[in-house]
Structures are given as structure tokens and as C-alpha cells.
Copies of this chain bind each other. A is one copy, B any other.
Amino acid sequence: MIIVMKAGATKRERDEVIKKIKELGYKPHVIHGTTRDVIGAVGDERGKVVLQSIESMQGVENVVPILKPYKLASREIKKESSSIKISDNVAIGDKDIIVMAGPCAVENEEQIIEVAFAVKKAGAKVLRGGAFKPRTSPYSFQGMKEEGLKLLAKAREATGLPIITEVMNPENAELVAEYADILQIGTRNAQNFELLKKLGQLQKPVLLKRGMSMTIQELLMSAEYIMSEGNQSVILCERGIRTFETATRNTLDLSAIPVLKEKTHLPVVVDPSHATGNYHYVAPMAFAAIAAGADGLMIEVHPDPERAFSDGPQSLVPKKFALMMAKLRLFAEVSDRTL
């Protein structure tokens, strides 16, 4: 941690800061500058937040953290990229790019089985579908709940595809974990720390979506919550951040991929459907995500988007999804990946 003193800070103020640094168990190291002093506080980073409080001392301009606040998620701790095993045949983070596809919400048995076969045929490796749905409006369809989980399990049985579905409440995390192969934490729960801790205590892979206004560092801190409880199987998902632009629902931050690849060993997937909110833009952004180095994709596919209970405008019909997958394979190949 670096403490920057104000230009006119007195010797006495500086000495108070040095005293406080020592009190907190750090070793102070003063650099006398031409217009102001800077004090390095060397030591173990536990208690860091208390150091931040030095900012309220007289004569202090600001406090600059040097160390990254995450550890288990950091590539400094684990240099090789992690591969998260989902089922006997599927792992995320290896050479194989994993496409997770399916409807926004499970609506009925015919729909989910039909989509499951269609996405499998096109090359998807995981079936996605919401049973518990986080909806902005209390008056919107809230999902089929456990009934939806059962239908997902049927679709898995029929197709062999592992399934991913969202958990919204620590209270039914175990219930969802009984059915699902990957537990998804949605954007709006990305800093629901109680939920993060709960899923950290289960031994199921977790797909953690980036919050709408979450920095990359905060995303890694949320991953750290899960990992520090004992579950190392975390998959990160970029799904668009909130900006002033309204032509797309969110702004897909693809530069997060190389940044994350540098900072963490965890795999990174991208959800272009929620990011753009418009099926026209899904395929180009899927290609771009793979070109930028993503390990996988989440894609919404619905047989009849005009009738979808939710997110119709951003869903691909199975035929368009298959066309996209065919072209995606070419992008995977030139990226030295398989699909």
C-alpha cells in the first residue's frame, strides 16, 4: 500500500502516519519527493481495509493499494489455466470450445426436449434453460421452478447433454444442485455474497455472470468468495455491462477476455444473447468472442421466439443457430481450438 501525503503536509502529520503504519503491523518506507512525500507500507495484506482508513488522517492525500485483493482466483498463485470438468465428456477451459445453448426459460416438456435435440445436433455440449427466473417485474413469468428442473433432467436423459440452470436463493441451492450439472449465478446476484458463499460450499461447478456494473476486479472478488469456501470449479461469464449506449441492451465487453486470461486461471465464457438483446447481433459477437480467446459461449435458442415467455427478441431459431455453429467451427479452428 502506498500512502501519498499532501503537498503541504507537516512533519508531524507524516510522523503520525508512520506511527499508525507501524501500529497496524506494517513496515513504513518513506520516499521524499520534490513536492510531497510518499510512504510505502510493506507487509502482509491482511488488515488491508484498516490501512485504507489512513485516508482519513490529517495530511494524507490518498492511499493507493498495490496488491490485488484476490488470491485463489489469481494467475500469480496458479499459472496453468484451469479446466472445469462438467461431465465425463465435457470440460470447460480445455482446447474444446463449449457452447451452452437453449431457451431463456423452460416452458414445457415439448419445448425443452425439442430444443435440446436441436442444439445437440448443431454441436452444443451443454443445455441451458431457466427454471427459476429473475425478472425485473413481479408480474412477469417467474419460471416453472422445480417442475422446470425435472423437465431439464428429462432433456438430459434424452440427449445426454449436461444442464446448466440458475440458482437465485441460498435456500434452494441444494435442490437445484440435485438436478443441474452447472449452477449459474445471474448478473443481478453477482454480489449476492450469501449466495456466493452457499455455492462455495457445494461441490458443483458454478458459472458466475459478471454484474451489470461490475469491474473485472470485482468479478474476480466474487469468484474468490466461492473459491474461499472450498469450491474451485468456477467459470466466469462476460454478458455485457451497462453503459449509455442503447442500440444494444448492454455493451459486450470483449476486452474483458484477454484481461481475464492474464489475471486469472479460470475459464471465461461469453453470453452474446443477453449482451446484445437482439438475435441479429448474436452470431457476429459469438465469432468475435471466440476470436478474442473465450473458452465457451452461452446462446439462447427458442423454436418460436415470437411466443417465448421471455427474451424472445434475442433468441435464435434452431436453424439459425445451426448455421452460426457451422461458421463458428471455422473461427474455432483458426484460434487453435476445437468445437
Contacts and interface: CB of A to CB of B under 8 A. Distances in A.
A241 interface: yes
A175 interface: no
Interface in A209-264: 211-213, 215-218, 221, 224-225, 228-229, 241-248, 251-259, 262
What copy number does this chain have within its complex?
4
A337 interface: no
B228 A138 contact: yes
Contacts of A330: 334
B8 A139 contact: no
Interface in A171-226: 171, 188-189, 191-195, 197, 211-213, 215-218, 221, 224-225
A192 B193 contact: no
A19 to B, nearest CB: 11
Given A64-B2, A137-B221, A55 B313 contact: yes
Nearest to A334: B330
A322 to B, nearest CB: 17
A109 interface: no
Contact of A306 (B20, B35, B193, B246): B20
Contacts of A31: 29, 31, 40, 42
Contacts of A69: 136-137, 139
A91 interface: no
A91 B280 CA distance: 27
Interface stretch (A81-89, A93-101, A152-160, A288-296): A288-296
B191 A136 contact: yes
A211 B246 CA distance: 15
B262 A53 contact: no
A217 B247 contact: yes
B256 A254 contact: no
A331 interface: yes
Nearest to A29: B31
A52 interface: yes
Given A188-B192, A213-B242, A251-B253, 11 more contacts: A2-B64, A46-B139, A52-B313, A53-B313, A55-B313, A137-B224, A138-B224, A189-B191, A192-B192, A285-B292, A287-B291
30 contacts: A7-B76, A33-B42, A34-B44, A36-B67, A38-B66, A48-B137, A49-B141, A49-B310, A50-B308, A55-B312, A56-B313, A64-B64, A137-B221, A138-B229, A192-B195, A213-B242, A215-B247, A243-B244, A243-B251, A247-B255, A248-B259, A254-B288, A258-B280, A258-B281, A284-B291, A284-B292, A287-B291, A287-B292, A288-B289, A331-B334
